[in-house]
Structure 1
Amino acid sequence: MARPPDLGRRRALLDALVAEVGANGIGDRSLRDLATAVGTSHRMLLHHFGSRDELLLAIVGEVERRQMALSRELPEDPAEAVAAMWANLRRPDLRPFERLFFECYARGVQGEQPFARMLPGAVDAWLAQDQNGDPAMMRLGLAVARGLLLDLVATEDLAGVDAAAAAFAELVRAAYRRR
């Protein structure tokens, strides 16, 4: 009978893996390479995460969890919240995670398991963060942020996406002034 994974050790490995991927990316790195980088064996990664694909989902999920925690600290003014969130999302140290998110998301949209499991939670979890707001505006903000992030990881045109994010914040400001 297989022993259940030690959740404390899994958490420590996940934290180490997030730090490693943030520092060195993931690309097509093998489980062996990742394991060596975080001071464990590929067998331990398999024990705690099941497969490389499950490990990728765990990393994406952890980064999303951290981003959602930050979203609870945003300013109450919607336009200021958009600007503050964008200031966080545009950080260069998040780029490896953004690339990984879009890879996993695209694989999920194609129905590939286990990635399909992250859908529709990748949207619904964010919408659930804003209990008192306008769900359509929240969805629009999420779509704009993700679209700009996809543009950024594809083009590295930081000035262009920053200008677009600022324009969106101004559109939000104008929309809420009219209310």
Structure 2
Amino acid sequence: MVRTPDLARRRELLDALVRECADNGVGGRSLRELAEAVGTSHRMLLHHFGSREELLLAVVDDVERRQMAMLSEGAAGFAEMWEHLRRPELRALERLFFECYSRGAQGESPFTTMLPGAVDRWLAEVPADAQVDPALARLGLAVMRGLLLDLAGTNDDAGVDAAAQHFIELIDARSHR
């Protein structure tokens, strides 16, 4: 696929923004502060993303797509996904996801655009030959997100990991019936 210079530059900026948000969070940082951190101007971020809110959604969408790629590669079950998602360096991105998700759930534009795709896209990634009950796939996604929200809010790695391990054992016991 040949990329136009504009799309290539957007991709470069998005990669830099994902790294910056993972390393230093977003919080109340302005578009100017984010632009300075990734070595560009706020006008260029507006050109490529439209607004601060749309930039945040682009970061969340990119991170979600990277995580879904792990699942679609077939290598990740719940335990492997948990090991990946629970990494401390992803905590700021998880907080951003939950901020955007809750703003969308409150009906705030443009965050509503991520709903219901934030669930449906994950469920669509479950391989058809995996013979996973769709309700169980949704439960797994909900539990993982609940654990991530707990972790993002409390930083209680040991407690949340223990809960995740318990859930993994329940799923494993169910699948061996």
TM bin (shorter chain) = over 0.9
Structure 2-normalised TM-score? 0.93
1:71-106 Cα offsets, whole Å, 9 max, x none, are 234547xxxx11111100100010000000000000
Tell me the secondary structure at the aligned position of residue 35 of structure 1: helix
Runs of 4+ in 1 over 3 A off after TM superposition: 73-76
Counterpart residue number, 1:148: 147
1:3-28 Cα offsets, whole Å, 9 max, x none, are x9911111110001011111111101
1:9-48 Cα offsets, whole Å, 9 max, x none, are 1111000101111111110101111111111100000000
- Is 1:96–2:92 an aligned residue pair? yes
> Separation in 2 of the partners of 1:128 and 1:119?
14
Contact in 1 for aligned 2:46/2:52 (Cα 8 Å): yes
Counterpart residue number, 1:35: 35
- Is 1:7–2:3 an aligned residue pair? no
> Separation in 1 of the partners of 2:12 and 2:85?
24
Counterpart residue number, 1:108: 104
Contact in 2 for aligned 1:102/1:150 (Cα 8 Å): yes
Shift of 1:131: 3.5
Aligned length: 171
Aligned partner of 2:122 among 122, 126, 133 = 126
> Separation in 1 of the partners of 2:121 and 2:98?
16
- Unaligned 5+ segments in structure 2 are none
Structure 1-normalised TM-score? 0.92
Letter in 1 for 2:9: R
> Separation in 2 of the partners of 1:24 and 1:33?
11
- Is 1:65–2:61 an aligned residue pair? no
Contact in 2 for aligned 1:104/1:115 (Cα 8 Å): yes
> Separation in 2 of the partners of 1:89 and 1:125?
17
- Is 1:50–2:50 an aligned residue pair? yes
> Separation in 1 of the partners of 2:150 and 2:37?
30
- Unaligned 5+ segments in structure 1 are none
